[in-house]
């Protein structure tokens, strides 16, 4: 709710702060940028200090900056507040992944991750439904302050109720504790921490980071530009449809999580991660291509097609985070944070380039004129197809190595950075000379 509330207030913020839509894109992206940058430190803190302390701290931090967003007086102040808000929220998923790893045996983590991640979509859908109403009553500034206050109620409940380990919780009986700990022990091979250089350069991690980048490119539109895009294309009345993709996403999490767990129980460990993700990316690609072909029919038809795309990418979440637990073990917070970092770089990228693609980019047949998001949808569809292919080569049974010669780690890091630099230089050359 804290994350998506800004989308419902974007037009009022643009008017009050006297900024343009591209600057609003930078404000959306600032959250995703800082969110991605602090994923790895947050994952490390979660592994070291436990999810109870980490999640209480990060919710306090992001609640403060959610409230401060309501006090923004300029584009610069809004960028600063959203940066620190994103830094706070960065600890949410790595910390929660550490909690799930401590409390849920491997064979049940698919459905656990599905249920857990669906909560974010319920909150986002509720924001799109109720925040416009709240803004009408108290204004956009007080809307942010109220959202910030909600976090402090959560912290009080969390500190009183949660424990880092099942054996520490007075509500867990001996039978349940043994069941959980035996299930955890069966999934552990070593308790050694994994160096970051190995994490970010292993073939499994490079692939899981790329596919999560593709997922973030698609999904973040529903949290950033979907509400204003629907309003600009079809009018104020069309915004009532914007919660639909997020509601479909809730069901996608449950279905995918249940499928991961079902296949794992049947003994298909690799397929239990691979099949839900590949089906999800295929659906996402189909939905995005459909968005470019039927947009002129009606706002409702468009939102159903975009909902199919969101349903698809949401199906990839449970297998992705479960995959990180599979290969990361006791370093699951660090590994999942690394994956989420790339996913939110994808989110930041989509927030920045979406208005640019609407105004400037055309693609033959799919987006022959500017003024719509069709060209962006084709880009996202292509990335999702590549992400689907990447799952063919990802193996949850291939654990991350806990040690490697330092010279080899350095070489792998240098090659990874060089590859990223080459990609960005190529994109810059293409934009400068060919667009």
CB atoms within 10 A of CB 364: 6
98 versus 62: which is more confidently predicted?
62
pLDDT score, position 397: 85
pLDDT score, position 7: 84
* 187-to-107, 229, 269, 297 alpha-carbon distances in Å: 9, 45, 12, 51
Domains of the chain, by residue range, sit at 5-404
pLDDT score, position 193: 63
Alpha helices in 70-108 (DSSP H): 75-89, 92-103
From 90-104, 183-197, 199-213, 371-385, the region with the lowest mean pLDDT:
183-197
Average pLDDT over residues 291-295: 83
Contact 221, 350 (CB under 8 A): yes
| d(C-alpha 333, C-alpha 331), whole Å | 5
* 73-to-30, 78, 92 alpha-carbon distances in Å: 17, 7, 28
Report pLDDT digits (tens) over 159-176.
999 998 888 899 989 898
pLDDT score, position 286: 97
In 310-342, which positions are buried (b, 16+ CB within 10 angstroms) versus exposed (e)?
A: bbbbbbbbbbbbbbbbbbbbbbbbbbbbbbbbb
| Alpha carbon 149 to chain centroid, angstroms | 23
Compute the C-alpha angle 111/113/114, nearest 5°. Answer: 60
pLDDT band (50, 70, 90) for residue 239: confident
Compute the C-alpha angle 128/313/421, nearest 5°. Answer: 105
Report pLDDT digits (tens) over 68-79.
999 999 999 999
In 272-308, which positions are buried (b, 16+ CB within 10 angstroms) versus exposed (e)?
A: bbbbbbbbbbebbbbbbbbbbeebeeebeebbbbbbb
| d(C-alpha 183, C-alpha 173), whole Å | 16
CATH number of 5-404: 1.20.1250.20
pLDDT exceeds cutoff 60 at 189: no
Contact 224, 213 (CB under 8 A): no
| Residue (of 125, 121, 123, 30) closest to 82 by Cα position | 30
- The C-alpha R_g of the chain, in whole angstroms, comes to 21
How does DSSP assign 350-363, residue by residue? Answer: HHHHHHHHHHH--B
Q: Is 350 exposed, middle or buried (0-12, 13-18, 19+ CB in 10 A)?
A: buried
The overall average pLDDT reported for the chain is: 85
| d(C-alpha 331, C-alpha 321), whole Å | 13
How does DSSP assign 11-48, residue by residue? Answer: HHHHHHHT--HHHHHHHHHHHHHHHHHTHHHHHHHHHH
pLDDT band (50, 70, 90) for residue 155: very high
Contact 190, 327 (CB under 8 A): no
pLDDT score, position 61: 92
**How many helices (DSSP H) and strands (DSSP E) are in the chain?**
19, 0
Average pLDDT over residues 378-393: 96
Residues in a beta bridge with 116: none
Query: Model-level pTM?
Result: 0.76
From 34-48, 77-91, 255-269, 284-298, the region with the lowest mean pLDDT:
34-48
Q: Is 153 exposed, middle or buried (0-12, 13-18, 19+ CB in 10 A)?
A: exposed
Return the DSSP state at 190.
-
pLDDT exceeds cutoff 90 at 339: no
219 versus 430: which is more confidently predicted?
219
Alpha helices in 202-242 (DSSP H): 203-223, 226-234
pLDDT exceeds cutoff 90 at 113: no
pLDDT score, position 190: 45
């Amino acid at each position: 709710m804290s994350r998506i509330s800004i989308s419902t207030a974007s037009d009022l913020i643009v008017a009050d702060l006297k900024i343009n839509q591209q600057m609003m894109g930078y404000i959306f992206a600032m959250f995703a940028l800082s969110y991605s940058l602090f994923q790895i430190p947050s994952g490390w803190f979660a592994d070291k200090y436990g999810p109870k302390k980490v999640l209480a701290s990060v919710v306090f931090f992001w609640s403060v900056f959610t409230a401060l967003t309501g006090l923004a007086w300029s584009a610069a102040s809004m960028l600063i507040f959203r940066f620190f808000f994103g830094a706070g929220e960065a600890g949410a998923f790595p910390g929660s992944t550490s909690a799930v790893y401590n409390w849920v045996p491997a064979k049940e983590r698919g459905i656990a991750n599905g249920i857990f991640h669906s909560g974010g979509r319920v909150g986002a859908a509720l924001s799109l439904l109720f925040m416009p109403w709240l803004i009408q009553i108290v204004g956009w500034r007080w809307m942010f302050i109220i959202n910030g206050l909600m976090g402090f109620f959560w912290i009080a409940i969390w500190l009183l109720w949660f424990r880092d380990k099942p054996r520490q919780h007075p509500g867990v009986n001996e039978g349940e504790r043994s069941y959980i700990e035996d299930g955890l022990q069966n999934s552990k091979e070593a308790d050694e921490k994994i160096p970051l250089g190995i994490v970010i350069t292993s073939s499994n991690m490079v692939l899981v980071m790329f596919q999560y980048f593709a997922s973030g490119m698609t999904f973040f539109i529903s949290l950033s530009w979907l509400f204003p895009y629907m309003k600009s294309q079809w009018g104020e009345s069309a915004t009532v449809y914007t919660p639909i993709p997020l509601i479909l996403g809730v069901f996608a999490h449950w279905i995918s999580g249940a499928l991961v767990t079902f296949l794992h129980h049947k003994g298909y460990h690799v397929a239990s991660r691979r099949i839900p993700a590949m089906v999800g990316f295929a659906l996402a690609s189909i939905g995005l291509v459909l968005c470019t072909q039927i947009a002129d029919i009606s706002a409702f038809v468009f939102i159903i097609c975009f909902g199919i795309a969101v349903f698809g990418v949401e199906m990839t979440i449970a297998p992705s985070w479960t995959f990180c637990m599979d290969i990361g073990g006791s370093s699951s917070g660090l590994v999942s944070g690394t994956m989420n970092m790339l996913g939110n770089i994808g989110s930041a990228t989509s927030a920045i380039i979406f208005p640019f693609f609407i105004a400037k980019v055309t693609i033959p047949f799919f987006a022959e004129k500017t003024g719509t998001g069709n060209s962006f949808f084709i880009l996202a569809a292509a990335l999702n197809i590549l992400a689907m292919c990447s799952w063919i080569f990802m193996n949850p049974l291939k654990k991350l190595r806990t040690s490697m010669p330092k010279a080899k780690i350095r070489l792998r890091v240098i090659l990874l950075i060089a590859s990223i630099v080459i990609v960005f230089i190529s994109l810059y050359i293409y934009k400068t000379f060919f667009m």
